[in-house]
């Protein structure tokens, strides 16, 4: 049987071992669709999984990688046939089921979405879980009735994956976007993606006031912790925050005042088990509302061998935009 390359994480008493290896399809987990992976991407969760900084991997040894795009190699699933182009993100892939840092994957066909016509498999992974989550956050703000004329939208973790795609989409939709970053040297880059202005993330670092001066009609937050608490205290009455991440921390040292005195709404966004209809809606919106030139500008391309290095860098907050892994 043909061998393919994979990154494999094993568990030992002393910690995790990461190796590049050659596997066959017999080594893969059960599923009804086998995919020749063309591209994957490095998400923050992959960084946590590979460095072992959080207990993301629940089934050792495991091929990490929470997303991939490629071509169906074989299928026993009614929706998919050989040659179909497909995209996968979430569903426990790269956590409990072998994931995208390999040249072949076998998965449940119910987890796959068709590659949108506007995108190559590399584009789909430039978006990846982070970019698709950014779109879910934009949709969440829209569903709360947030409109461009109501004021500025703050994007935290602005130079990261969720942040950069959020800026590109929101600006195309006519929102005035303010980017919050710890990397002020990226100001010109963030403005090129559509940010109207850039603020230093240290503004959101002290203890949050019960009610701060109102500044934002809405926000997309991928940082959590003190940052999220400060941002919520500065949202205008009836404004909303879509919160999806914990790059600063899992805690939420905020208080009730903005919710009960200003009617501020905090919307949690989870991309892992999003129902299929909403996934398809998000991908259709990305086709319509994400400028491909901006997507390419925020993307770096690497090889499988680079993944452990990039994984370490992403948890240190050193990665700009999105990183696509070429597996062809």
Per CB under 6 A, residues contacting ligand NDP are 43-45, 129-130, 133, 157-163, 181-183, 201, 222-223, 227, 244-248, 269-272, 314, 317, 319
Residue with smaller CB distance to ligand NDP, 6 or 158? 158
**Distance in angstroms (rounded) separating the CA atoms of residues 27 and 212:** 55
Residue whose C-beta lies closest to ligand NDP: 160
The residues near 159 (Cβ < 8 Å, ≥ 6 apart) are 179, 181, 182, 183, 186, 189, 190, 320, 321
**Distance in angstroms (rounded) separating the CA atoms of residues 325 and 136:** 23
The distance of closest approach from Cβ of residue 139 to ligand NDP in the complex, given in angstroms and rounded to an integer, is 13
The distance of closest approach from Cβ of residue 246 to ligand NDP in the complex, given in angstroms and rounded to an integer, is 4
Residue with smaller CB distance to ligand NDP, 33 or 48? 48
Does residue 152 contact residue 217 with C-beta atoms inside 8 Å? yes
Residue with smaller CB distance to ligand NDP, 81 or 318? 318
**Distance in angstroms (rounded) separating the CA atoms of residues 68 and 153:** 30
Residue with smaller CB distance to ligand NDP, 43 or 51? 43
Nearest by Cα to 113 from 143, 141, 134, 91: 91
Residue with smaller CB distance to ligand NDP, 80 or 283? 283
The distance of closest approach from Cβ of residue 268 to ligand NDP in the complex, given in angstroms and rounded to an integer, is 8
Neighbours of 320 (CB within 10 A): 20
Does residue 314 contact residue 306 with C-beta atoms inside 8 Å? no
The distance of closest approach from Cβ of residue 326 to ligand NDP in the complex, given in angstroms and rounded to an integer, is 19
Does residue 221 contact residue 163 with C-beta atoms inside 8 Å? no
Residue with smaller CB distance to ligand NDP, 38 or 95? 95
Nearest by Cα to 321 from 139, 198, 193: 193
The distance of closest approach from Cβ of residue 236 to ligand NDP in the complex, given in angstroms and rounded to an integer, is 23
The distance of closest approach from Cβ of residue 133 to ligand NDP in the complex, given in angstroms and rounded to an integer, is 4
Does residue 128 contact residue 322 with C-beta atoms inside 8 Å? yes
Does residue 189 contact residue 71 with C-beta atoms inside 8 Å? no
Give strand pairing partners of 241: 219, 266
Residue with smaller CB distance to ligand NDP, 72 or 87? 87
> Which segments of the chain does DSSP mark as H helices, in order?
44-51, 121-143, 161-172, 187-193, 225-233, 257-261, 276-289, 292-297, 307-315
The distance of closest approach from Cβ of residue 289 to ligand NDP in the complex, given in angstroms and rounded to an integer, is 18
Give the dihedral sign, CA 305/70/30/67: positive
The distance of closest approach from Cβ of residue 205 to ligand NDP in the complex, given in angstroms and rounded to an integer, is 8
């Amino acid at each position: 049987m043909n061998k393919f390359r994979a990154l494999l994480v094993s568990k030992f008493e002393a910690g995790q071992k990461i190796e590049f290896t050659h596997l066959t399809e017999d080594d893969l987990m059960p599923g009804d669709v086998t995919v020749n992976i063309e591209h994957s991407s490095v998400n923050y969760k992959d960084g946590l999984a590979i460095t072992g900084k959080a207990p993301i991997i629940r089934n050792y040894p495991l091929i990490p990688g929470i997303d991939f795009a490629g071509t169906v190699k074989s299928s026993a699933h009614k929706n998919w046939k050989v040659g179909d182009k497909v995209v996968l993100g979430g569903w426990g892939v790269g956590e409990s089921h072998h994931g995208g840092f390999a040249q072949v994957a076998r998965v449940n066909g119910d987890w796959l979405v068709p590659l949108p016509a506007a995108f190559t498999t590399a584009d789909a992974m430039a978006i990846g879980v982070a970019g698709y989550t950014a779109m879910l956050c934009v949709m969440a703000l829209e569903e709360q009735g947030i409109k461009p004329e109501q004021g500025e939208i703050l994007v935290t973790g602005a130079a990261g994956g969720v942040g950069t795609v959020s800026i590109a989409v929101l600006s195309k939709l006519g929102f005035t976007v303010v980017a919050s970053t710890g990397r002020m040297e990226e100001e010109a880059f963030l403005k090129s993606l559509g940010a109207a202005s850039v603020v230093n993330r240290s503004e959101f670092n002290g203890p949050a006031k019960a009610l701060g001066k109102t500044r934002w009609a809405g926000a997309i937050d991928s940082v959590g912790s003190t940052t999220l608490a400060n941002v919520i205290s500065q949202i205008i009455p009836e404004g909303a925050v879509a919160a999806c991440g914990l790059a600063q921390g899992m805690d939420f040292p905020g208080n009730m005042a903005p919710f009960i005195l200003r009617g501020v709404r905090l919307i949690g966004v989870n991309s892992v088990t999003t129902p299929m209809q909403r996934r398809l809606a998000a991908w259709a919106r990305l086709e319509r509302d994400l400028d491909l030139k901006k997507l390419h500008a925020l993307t770096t391309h690497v090889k499988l061998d680079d993944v452990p290095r990039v994984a370490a860098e992403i948890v240190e907050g050193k990665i700009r935009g999105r990183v696509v892994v070429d597996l062809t």
